[in-house]
């Protein structure tokens, strides 16, 4: 390990992670001297690995699947958005030795939509597909944009209904199954299922996308995901993948650690141009 400040992402699996490349590009862009590594850590070894990391002088950590709930439990302090999401993707060592847990996923999504793609959420009818950890992390930041309504549809209906109930104080949120979507239309459809990762598409009715409606898959890949392709086939105004969200959530974590914001536009373009083997 070098003498520079060091950071890491923990997860399992982790070999596919783009975070080291993204943070290296951020560091170059902002002239920060720091080191960032990916480390395979199982849920069983999480507590020991994080404790060791901070004892050795680590300044901050990202946590990804399946460790976000464990990171939430580990943190000695929590940001309001982490408290709301009940999941943590960023740990920040504080000057007093406490470890602050935050969740930058939802902020990353909203920044990508509103800043990078000029998609306003105010008064929009928004549909989230999926009721797992990613959905949980994006609900509050979406509701802060004051949509007309938010519907959460999931394969296991009980989970979407429970999630809608849990967040009902934030505004009009409904939980349902995919079949219940027939006859409805939405200005923005967010695919927060992991179905794209296995080349699967949730069973969605036709005419689900309103005129000028947008599709956004939180998943991403070297080729357009199956959901992005579905959006194009269904004549969505735009059909986007989650690479921008990935970079924006990382930029927010970088800002929390280093106090400086990288130029994400340039870095998203660099990552889009690289082949999958390079990133």
Residues belonging to the active site: 68
Pairing of strands 173-176, 186-191: unpaired
Contact set for ligand NDP, span 65-124 (CB under 6 A): 65, 105, 108
Q: Which is nearer to ligand NDP, 92 or 247 (CB)?
A: 247
Query: In this chain, which of 195, 214, 240, 268 binds ligand NDP, going by CB under 6 A?
Result: 195
Residue 22: CB minimum distance to ligand NDP, A? 10
Per CB under 6 A, does 200 bind ligand NDP? yes
Query: Residue 3 gets which letter from DSSP?
Result: S
Only one of the segments 77-85, 90-98, 115-123, 216-224 lies at the binding site for ligand NDP (rule: CB under 6 A); that segment is 216-224
At which residue do the structure tokens 């990202």 appear?
A: 62
Query: In this chain, which of 41, 143, 192, 267 binds ligand NDP, going by CB under 6 A?
Result: 192
Closest residue to ligand NDP using C-beta atoms: 132
Considering only CA atoms, which of 10, 20, 60, 22 is closest in space to residue 262?
A: 22
N-term to C-term CA, the chain: 22
Q: Which is nearer to ligand NDP, 148 or 234 (CB)?
A: 234
Residue 64: CB minimum distance to ligand NDP, A? 8
Q: Are 68 and 90 in contact (CB under 8 A)?
A: no
Q: Are 49 and 39 in contact (CB under 8 A)?
A: yes
Q: What are phi and psi of 191, to 5 degrees?
A: -90, 100
d(CA 198, CA 116): 27
Per CB under 6 A, does 4 bind ligand NDP? no
Per CB under 6 A, does 177 bind ligand NDP? no
Task: Give me the 16-55 binding string for ligand NDP, x by CB under 6 A, dash otherwise.
Answer: ----------------------------------------
d(CA 54, CA 122): 41
Annotate 162-204 with DSSP letters as a single string.
HHHHHTGGGS-EEEE-GGGGTT--EEEEEE-SSGGGGT-----
d(CA 190, CA 131): 11
d(CA 116, CA 154): 28
At which residue do the structure tokens 């709930």 appear?
A: 69
Q: Which is nearer to ligand NDP, 5 or 121 (CB)?
A: 121
The footprint of ligand NDP on this chain (CB under 6 A) covers a number of residues equal to: 27
Residue 106: CB minimum distance to ligand NDP, A? 9
Task: Give me the 219-258 binding string for ligand NDP, x by CB under 6 A, dash otherwise.
Answer: xx---------------------x--xx--x---------
Q: Which is nearer to ligand NDP, 48 or 265 (CB)?
A: 265
Mapping DSSP to helix (H, G, I), strand (E, B) and coil, where does residue 14 land?
Answer: coil
Which residues, including other chains, have CB under 8 Å from residue 220's CB and lie 6 or more apart? 241, 242, 243, 246
Only one of the segments 27-35, 52-60, 70-78, 152-160 lies at the binding site for ligand NDP (rule: CB under 6 A); that segment is 152-160
Residues that bind ligand NDP (CB under 6 A): 65, 105, 108, 130-135, 154-156, 159, 192-195, 197, 200, 202, 218-220, 242, 245-246, 249
């Amino acid at each position: 390990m070098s003498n520079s400040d060091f950071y890491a992402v923990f997860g399992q699996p982790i070999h596919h992670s783009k975070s080291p490349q993204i943070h290296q590009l951020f560091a170059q862009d902002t002239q920060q001297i720091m080191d960032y590594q990916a480390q395979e850590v199982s849920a069983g070894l999480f507590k020991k690995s994080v404790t060791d990391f901070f004892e050795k002088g680590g300044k901050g950590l990202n946590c990804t699947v399946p460790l976000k709930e464990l990171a939430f439990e580990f943190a000695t302090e929590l940001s309001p958005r982490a408290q709301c999401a009940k999941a943590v993707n960023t740990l920040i060592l504080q000057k007093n030795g406490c470890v602050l847990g935050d969740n930058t996923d939802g902020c990353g999504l909203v920044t990508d939509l509103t800043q990078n793609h000029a998609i306003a959420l105010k008064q929009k009818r928004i549909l989230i597909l999926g009721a797992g950890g990613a959905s949980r992390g994006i609900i509050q930041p979406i509701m802060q944009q004051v949509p007309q309504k938010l519907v959460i549809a999931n394969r296991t209906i009980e989970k979407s209904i429970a999630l809608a109930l849990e967040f009902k104080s934030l505004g009009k949120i409904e939980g349902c199954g995919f079949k219940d979507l027939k006859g409805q239309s939405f200005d923005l459809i967010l695919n927060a299922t992991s179905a794209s990762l296995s080349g699967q598409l949730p069973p969605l009715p036709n005419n689900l996308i309103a005129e000028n409606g947008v599709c956004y898959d939180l998943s991403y890949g070297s080729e357009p995901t199956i959901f992005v392709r579905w959006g194009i086939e269904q004549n969505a105004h735009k059909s986007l993948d989650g690479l921008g969200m990935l970079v924006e959530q990382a930029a927010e974590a970088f800002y929390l650690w280093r106090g400086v914001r990288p130029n994400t536009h340039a870095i998203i373009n660099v990552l889009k141009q690289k082949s999958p083997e390079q990133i």
